[in-house]
Amino acid sequence: MFKPASRSTLYENVMTQIISAIKNGSWQPGSKMDGELALAEQFQISRSSIREAMKALSVYKIIESRPGHGTVIAPDAIRRIANNELVHSLTEDVSIVEKMELRVLMETQMVEWVTENATLEDLDSLENIINNDIQNIDKLQETILQTRTKFHDRLAEIAGNGIMIRLIRSIRAELEAHRHNYLVLPEQHWNKMMEEHRAILKHIRSRNVKKAREAMVKHLLQDMEDIMGSSRSAIHLEDTLLHM
């Protein structure tokens, strides 16, 4: 089914071929995927490159891991591929920094809506996500990308704007698919991330829109620094956003 992967960008080549196989029906939503070893043999590359591609596909929620069943094609994989392709077509010639800027702008608006409209039940659900992450800090490395998105996904659900939710998730997935530095960040980073989530929630609870927006900007720009490996662009964007 598959061709040997190109040597230039192995994991992207693997991703492209797997997505094509899903789109042309060779792999149906819900079907079980071959294991890492079998895929490595088919693509004629190392298992580490296959693992990298699988992690990226998982970020896009095109595949999912099911305990006791292995990795399967997500039931809504076709829709997610279409959403991601739409965002990619809109941002094809846009830099990572510009994509991050768009994400920050949308998520700060999102947190404003949540601050103004969230119910006590909504706020408690956010608190539960933070508390659960704190209790399972030793397991974060096992579900690293899924863990860090749950808080933001819940905020998006509370905000309730369907188009914004899809755009944010697709842009975030595109950014995170290339953010392999997350896999080696120390435990202190995750503690800091959860502290930032708690600070955002604190300001939402107090209905302080300005503080909630500022806390979200600082949190997302830390993400930007992790992606870029440099604080220069993040500092410039923070100065711009906090004076809007």
For residue 172, what is the domain's CATH number?
A: 1.20.120.530
Q: Are residues 49 and 166 in the same domain?
A: no
CB 174 within 8 A of CB 99: yes
Select from 50, 79, 108 the last residue of a domain: 79
Q: Are residues 221 and 113 in the same domain?
A: yes
Select from 38, 54, 79 the last residue of a domain: 79
For residue 87, tell me if it sits in a domain.
Answer: no
Q: Are residues 152 and 215 in the same domain?
A: yes
Walk along the chain (244 residues) and give the pLDDT tens digit of each residue. Answer: 655 555 557 778 888 899 899 989 888 999 999 999 999 999 998 888 898 888 888 877 889 988 888 899 999 888 888 777 766 665 566 677 777 788 888 899 999 999 999 999 999 999 999 888 777 766 555 445 555 678 888 998 999 877 777 777 777 776 666 555 444 556 677 778 889 999 999 999 999 999 999 999 988 887 777 655 544 444 445 444 544 4
Can you give the pTM of this predicted structure?
0.60
Q: Are residues 217 and 98 in the same domain?
A: yes
Q: Are residues 107 and 227 in the same domain?
A: yes
Chain mean position to CA 89: 19
Q: Are residues 72 and 179 in the same domain?
A: no
For residue 170, tell me if it sits in a domain.
Answer: yes
Q: Are residues 102 and 59 in the same domain?
A: no
For residue 41, tell me if it sits in a domain.
Answer: yes
| Rounded CA separation 146/129 (Å) | 12
Select from 25, 49, 79 the last residue of a domain: 79
Q: What range does the domain containing 32 cover?
A: 10-79
Q: Which pLDDT score is estimated for 10?
A: 79
For residue 202, tell me if it sits in a domain.
Answer: yes
Q: Are residues 31 and 143 in the same domain?
A: no
For residue 15, tell me if it sits in a domain.
Answer: yes
| Nearest C-alpha neighbor of 28 from the set 76, 83, 64, 86 | 76
**Buried/exposed 208-227: b ≥16 CB within 10 Å, e otherwise:** ebebbbbbbbbbbbbbbeeb
Q: Which pLDDT score is estimated for 123?
A: 96
Q: What is the CATH number of the domain that holds 45?
A: 1.10.10.10
For residue 200, tell me if it sits in a domain.
Answer: yes
- Phi, psi values for residue 198, rounded to 5°: -65, -40
For residue 54, tell me if it sits in a domain.
Answer: yes
For residue 111, tell me if it sits in a domain.
Answer: yes
Chain mean position to CA 171: 8
At 66, is the secondary structure helix, strand, or coil?
strand
Q: Which pLDDT score is estimated for 167?
A: 76
Q: Are residues 56 and 111 in the same domain?
A: no
| Rounded CA separation 78/84 (Å) | 10
CB 5 within 8 A of CB 44: yes
Half-sphere exposure of 87 (CA within 13 A, CB side): 22
Q: Are residues 134 and 226 in the same domain?
A: yes
Q: Which pLDDT score is estimated for 172?
A: 73
Q: Are residues 213 and 164 in the same domain?
A: yes
Q: Are residues 129 and 203 in the same domain?
A: yes
| Rounded CA separation 153/165 (Å) | 8
Domain count, the chain: 2
